[in-house]
Amino acid sequence: MRVLVYGAGQLAQMMYLAGAPLGIEVEAVNVTTDTVVHPVSKLPLDLSLDQAIEAADVLTVEFEHVPERLLEQADKSEKLLPSMEAILVGADRVREKQLLEKLDIPNCAHRIVSHLDQLDECIDALGDQLIIKASRDGYDGYGQWRLTDAAHLPKLKQQLDGLDLELVPLVVEQMQNFDRELSLIGVRSKSGDIKVYPLTENLHHLGQLHVSIAPAPAVSQELQQQAEDIFNRLAQGMDYTGVLAVEMFQCKDTLLVNELAPRVHNSGHWTTTGSDTSQFENHLRAVVGLPLGDTQALSPSAMINIIGCGTFSRDLLSIEGCHLHWYGKSVRDKRKMGHINLTAATYAQLGQKMQQLVNYVPEDAFPKLAGEAQKLSSYK
């Protein structure tokens, strides 16, 4: 079986590694050059994109911001999973909000803005504590602005002046006073079978994910069920095939959907060592029509992103249950260079291992590590 992945980054690489034991050959598309490459070496392969599409059994994506011309070509092959419509929902916040409203799924109160003068109406409707997001091409904190006082609105309008809001509208959301950020990674097969992983707790810094803990501590059965109900409605409502990530805010006993990612997701990287079947293997199983794998957590796990940093001690591998995943990229500010997975028998032991990890990495590049380590170490 052959799977062609649009996008040639670390997610395609991890799908390749998950597919090899199953006899699934994974190739990748560099979407900036339209060339077919090896997902690990990134070296061009001796076939054109048209030839790769013809030879593949399934086409899929590693990220949602694939140029639409390429998605349209893939869609015509009738091999694209998930569907083009589902991928575009993840790439366009307006489509995303429309889907959530259509399926009656709780999300942040919001307005769609296609002209700067509408921001005044947003303050009237939502208050002056607002998050303003570009509807397209915004991720990892990019394409976002905050308003915390109505008096600052003129300055914000100056920042946004010049943007073509008719082409790329803004989604203006009411700022939420949430307890924590959670995500649910789930998978739906071609035949409609659904499996979900436990809720994951996510810690962000400057708009980027830094640390994930799974299963998220202190999650009631009711909260997990609420998340699974949301996933089921989304997956069935889109007739979805593959892995889907749902990012949410926990506000006391209620979950509000923040964002959707129609693909394998950073907050699911813990599954490669903390579950029986990783999100990467399950995505491949789903799109090629194999039975889905077990999604239960084997033990408490942590995933720590390595962001904009290449200087740390590889001796961190001396920590029991520690696994390094290096992406082989050149170092750049805010760039995801790799991640570290930790597993332990208990949350307290996981926190202790995270405290050990502090000794091997620069503090300024891992701002969430020490605090979360201390918090988990106190768990009984």
Q: What is the mean pLDDT of residues 180-189?
A: 98
Determine the Cα–Cα distance for residues 85 and 289; give it in Å rounded to an integer: 20
**Four-point Cα dihedral 299, 293, 229, 297, nearest 10:** 0
Band (pLDDT 50/70/90 cuts) for residue 18 is very high
Please tell me the least confidently modeled range out of 74-78, 163-167, 337-341.
Answer: 163-167
Q: What is the mean pLDDT of residues 191-202?
A: 98
Determine the Cα–Cα distance for residues 309 and 314; give it in Å rounded to an integer: 13
Q: Do 211 and 255 fall within a single domain?
A: yes
Determine the Cα–Cα distance for residues 69 and 50; give it in Å rounded to an integer: 13
Please tell me the least confidently modeled range out of 64-68, 158-162, 312-316.
Answer: 158-162
Is the predicted pLDDT of residue 137 greater than 80, yes or no?
no
Take residue 18 and report the two structure tokens written for it. Answer: 């998950």
Percent residues over pLDDT 70 in the chain: 98
Q: Do 245 and 280 fall within a single domain?
A: yes
Q: How many CA atoms lie within 13 A of 215 on its CB side?
A: 18
Take residue 315 and report the two structure tokens written for it. Answer: 């001796």
Of 151, 174, 197, which residue constitutes the final position of a domain? 174
**Four-point Cα dihedral 74, 79, 80, 84, nearest 10:** 70
pLDDT of residue 78: 98
Is the predicted pLDDT of residue 218 greater than 90, yes or no?
yes
pLDDT of residue 140: 58
What CATH number has the domain bearing residue 276?
3.30.470.20
Q: Do 157 and 243 fall within a single domain?
A: no
234-273 pLDDT, tens digit per residue, is 999 999 999 999 999 999 999 999 999 999 999 999 999 9
| Cβ atoms < 10 Å from Cβ of 89 | 26
Is the predicted pLDDT of residue 138 greater than 70, yes or no?
no
Name the helix (H) or strand (E) containing 54: helix 49-55
Is the predicted pLDDT of residue 124 greater than 70, yes or no?
yes
39-59 pLDDT, tens digit per residue, is 999 999 999 999 999 999 999
Q: Do 168 and 203 fall within a single domain?
A: no
157 falls within a domain: yes
Q: 360, exposed or middle or buried, with CB in 10 Å at 0-12, 13-18, 19+?
A: middle
Name the helix (H) or strand (E) containing 303: strand 301-307
Query: Which residue in 33, 39, 40 sits closest to 60, CA to CA?
Result: 39
DSSP state of 41: T
94 falls within a domain: no
SS3 content of the chain, % helix, strand, coil (to 5): 35, 30, 40
Is the predicted pLDDT of residue 222 greater than 80, yes or no?
yes
Query: Which residue in 1, 10, 15 sits closest to 242, CA to CA?
Result: 15
| Cβ atoms < 10 Å from Cβ of 146 | 11
Q: Do 43 and 120 fall within a single domain?
A: no
pLDDT of residue 98: 97
98 falls within a domain: no
70 falls within a domain: yes
Q: What is the mean pLDDT of residues 318-332?
A: 96
342-375 pLDDT, tens digit per residue, is 999 999 999 999 999 999 999 999 999 999 999 9
Look up residue 322 and give its amino acid: C
Q: How many CA atoms lie within 13 A of 285 on its CB side?
A: 24
Band (pLDDT 50/70/90 cuts) for residue 2 is very high
Is the link from the previous residue into 215 a cis peptide, with omega within 30 of 0?
Answer: yes
Q: Do 267 and 135 fall within a single domain?
A: no
Of 157, 174, 191, which residue constitutes the final position of a domain? 174
Determine the Cα–Cα distance for residues 364 and 370; give it in Å rounded to an integer: 11
Q: Do 162 and 142 fall within a single domain?
A: yes
What residues make up the domain containing 62?
Answer: 2-80
| Start-to-end C-alpha separation, the chain | 47
Cβ contact 165:264 at 8 Å: no
Determine the Cα–Cα distance for residues 66 and 63; give it in Å rounded to an integer: 7
Q: Do 255 and 132 fall within a single domain?
A: no
Q: Do 59 and 145 fall within a single domain?
A: no
Cβ contact 184:233 at 8 Å: no
Question: What is the domain count for the chain?
Answer: 3
Query: Which residue in 317, 322, 374 sits closest to 348, CA to CA?
Result: 374
Is the predicted pLDDT of residue 156 greater than 70, yes or no?
yes
DSSP state of 367: T
What CATH number has the domain bearing residue 64?
3.40.50.20
Q: Do 158 and 188 fall within a single domain?
A: no
pLDDT of residue 236: 98
